[in-house]
Amino acid sequence: MVVQKKIPLRKCVATGEMIPKKEMIRIVRSKEGEVSVDLTGKKSGRGAYVSKTIEAINKAKKKNSLGNHLEVTIPTEIYDELIVIIEREKLK
């Protein structure tokens, strides 16, 4: 009997799709209110997940879904950083 390992799914704040956690990027708001990109998935604080697509990042920026979810204003640099991370992964 083969045991199927359960794949953790997370909901993308931009698209609303349920996607495997490994295929997403986590954005975290710390207790101090600082927003950062969490590539390890282990930082403490309130997290929101977004798909690793430029379309999803742009949608999240347009609808401010990350800001609403984390209840904080998201600096433009965070969106820029997300796009750089996605571009870098495409090159691998």
Residue 71 maps to which CATH number? 3.30.1230.10
On the question of pLDDT at 92 being above 80, the answer is: no
Domain enclosing residue 30, as ranges: 9-91
> Is residue 21 a part of any domain in this protein?
yes
Query: Is residue 49 included in any domain, yes or no?
Result: yes
Query: What pLDDT, on a 0 to 100 scale, did the predictor assign at position 15?
Result: 95
pLDDT at 32: 94
Which pTM was predicted?
Answer: 0.89
SS3 content of the chain, % helix, strand, coil (to 5): 40, 25, 35
Q: Report pLDDT digits (tens) over 31-78.
A: 999 999 999 999 999 999 999 999 999 999 999 999 999 999 999 999
